[in-house]
Structure 1
Amino acid sequence: MPAFILYGSRGSTNTDRVRLTLAEGNFTDYEIVLLNLQKAEQKSEEHKRRHAWGKVPVLTSADGFTLYESRAICKYLAKKYSFPLLPADSDVEALALFDQAHSVETLTFAIPAGRIAFEKFAKRFMGLPPDDAEVSDALRSVEVFFDVAEGLLQRKAYIAGDDFTLVDIYYVPLIQRLFACGYEDVIVSRKAVSAWWDRCVNRPAIQRVLAADR
């Protein structure tokens, strides 16, 4: 029996965030159950017993523990299975910088990048046209974000400091989605951001996941 089941979906950046974390931890003792979002399988009564808002991903362990929200799942896994993706508990300053970087990613990057992904990627599969005004507004926010990140990444190798952490993983799925939507220039036009991205995306574990999805 696997240690846990991960309920997710193909093409879900939130699901991919967890998959990348598991790959970096070289952890394979789990089962993934894919739900079809286009058929609204995530809104079934069965799934809502796992996630009251009917979303993915959700982790359910063999002993009955259930957890949702991708970043919470990633941090739980890293702590439970000792993945080398978090600062040491004894390093209070590094932990504070990690939490700071985590908040910035969630509130300042993921929201506008997610809006672009929905308008330019998800709506394509829904047979709906994108809202170009919404895309333009979100893109401006993403560009401002990476203007600031460019300066910060000139002084450190990774988002939260000199070590690769979960926060770097959190960026990967939505940046991949920006590339898929034709906005790769947001990354490659900024030297320090582009170098950071190359360091992240060329990690062997991340390459394995991306290759499996091609």
Structure 2
Amino acid sequence: MAIKVHGSPNSTATLRVVAALHEKEIDFEFVTVDMRSGAHKTPQYLALNPFGQVPALEDGDIILFESRAITKYIASAYESQETPLLNKDKKQLADLAIWSEVEAHQFDPVGSKLAWELFYKGLFGMQTDAAAVEENEAKLVKVLDVYEARLAQSKYLAGDSFTLADLHHLPALHYLSGTKVKSLFDERPHVSAWCKDILARPSWEKALALQKQG
């Protein structure tokens, strides 16, 4: 039975999962969840994700939700296919565990708030909260200083190979790269090189192509 991804092409969490599937070159069916019509709150969808959020993934009789849990499942269940995404070396496995948590708890909360203020609010005709931008820019500076030091030691966050720790950053990096805070990434040479590298991966380009379909 083919893998099904239920989600929205404009959802950062959905794009994270789709990128992981493309890294593994796994065929899947994409099922669009029309959130504007409330499709994510129907009983049918809540059976897949009880929180009524996207995405959800079906792999046969296995049902998953929460994008990072899904990518970890994909990387593990299809470990032998294409890009490894997980480290086997003990030291690099520890690094992967650390930097995956850093993305989820240090980078993403700040990056998501800035993307909301500087990108999404414009789409919805809403006014940017300058104070929120200033507050989160200051937080992002501190995070990126840590990243710069880390990436001076290795090409990627968990070592010299691309892993989930890097992939999980792609959605926020993509949207932030079109805003004024791009300068914060550009002025840090190792962070800048890392961003250009991972944003240029074919898997991410294929994930973004979802937004041009239909």
Q: Which residue in the other structure is 1:174 paired with?
A: 172
Q: Where does residue 195 of structure 1 map in the other structure?
A: 193
Is 35-44 or 5-14 further displaced after alignment?
35-44
Matched, 1:96 2:79: no
- Distance apart, 1:24 and its partner CA: 0.9
Counterpart-to-counterpart distance in 1, 2:35 and 2:117 = 16
1:70/1:79 CA distance change after superposition, 3 Å: same
CA distance in 1, matches of 2:22, 2:136: 30
Give the unaligned 5+ runs of structure 2.
Answer: none
Contact 2:19 2:206 in 1 (8 A): no
Q: 2:64 aligns with which of 67, 91, 94?
A: 67
1:211 CA displacement: 5.1
1:113 aligned partner, one-letter code: G
- Report the counterpart of residue 26 of structure 1 in structure 2: 25
- Offset at residue 77 of structure 1 (A): 0.5
Measured after TM superposition, the shift of residue 120 of structure 1 is 2.8
Aligned partner of residue 31 in structure 1, secondary structure: strand
3-state SS of 2:5 partner:
strand
What displacement does 1:213 show? Answer: 4.1
The alpha carbon displacement at 1:189 in A equals: 1.6
Corresponding residue number in structure 1 for 2:14: 15
Query: Counterparts of 1:191 and 1:139 in 2: how far apart (Å)?
Result: 18
Task: Tell me the TM-score normalized by structure 1.
Answer: 0.90
- Report the Cα distance in structure 1 between the residues aligned to 2:173 and 2:118, rounded to whole angstroms: 13
TM-score normalised by L of structure 2: 0.90
Say which is worse superposed, 42-51 or 69-78, in terms of deviation.
Answer: 42-51
Give the 3-state SS of the residue equivalent to 1:54 in structure 2: coil
One-letter amino acid of the structure 2 residue matched with residue 72 of structure 1: A
Name the CA distance, whole Å, in 2 between partners of 1:149 and 1:171: 12
* Matching residue's letter, 2:179: C
Distance 1:184 1:25, change over 3 A: same
Identity %, equivalent residues: 33
- C-alpha RMSD of matched pairs (Å): 1.8
Q: How many residues align?
A: 209
Deviation at 1:38, TM superposition (A): 2.8
